[in-house]
């Protein structure tokens, strides 16, 4: 389950929902490599998007920073730069009607694990 954190200088709830839909679609499409590794299949509902505003001590070089954290798969790593550029391009194309001066996208693929459980399991 990739985690996407969107850090911003102040976005309306409506714009956050719009960006969330765009990110779920583009991250699922660009990071899916199920043809090479069936365990890496992604659907938009697999993407977890979180928003937070810049704090007083944050460097806010961009109006919107997008950090994508997804589990490392060799097939993902092989196309990482292209996938990152495609996610950024998808956002820029679909947000061109807005006055967002600059947005950055950073995708990282750590070797990681993920588990889900409930207290008392």
pLDDT digits (tens, 9 = 90+) for 41-53: 899 999 999 999 9
Instruction: Tell me the C-alpha distance between 3 and 68, whole Å.
Output: 6
pLDDT tens-place string over residues 90-118: 999 999 888 887 899 999 999 887 787 88
* pTM for the full predicted model: 0.89
Q: Are 4 and 117 in contact (CB under 8 A)?
A: no
pLDDT value for 63: 87
- Which helix (H) or strand (E) is 84 found in, with range? helix 80-94
Residue 8 forms beta bridges with which residues? 53, 64
Q: Are 42 and 24 in contact (CB under 8 A)?
A: no
CATH of 3-108 among 1.10.10.10, 3.30.429.10, 1.10.490.20, 1.10.579.10: 3.30.429.10
């Amino acid at each position: 389950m990739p985690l996407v954190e969107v850090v911003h200088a102040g976005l309306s709830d409506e714009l956050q929902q719009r960006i969330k839909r765009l990110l779920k679609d583009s991250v699922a499409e660009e990071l899916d490599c199920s043809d090479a590794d069936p365990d890496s299949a992604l659907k938009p509902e697999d993407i977890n998007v979180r928003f937070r505003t810049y704090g007083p001590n944050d460097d806010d070089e961009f109006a919107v920073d997008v950090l994508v954290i997804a589990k490392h798969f060799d097939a993902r790593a092989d196309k990482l730069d292209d996938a990152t550029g495609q996610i950024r391009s998808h956002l820029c194309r679909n947000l061109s009607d807005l006055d967002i001066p600059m947005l950055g996208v950073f995708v990282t693929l750590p070797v990681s694990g993920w588990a889900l459980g409930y207290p008392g399991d």
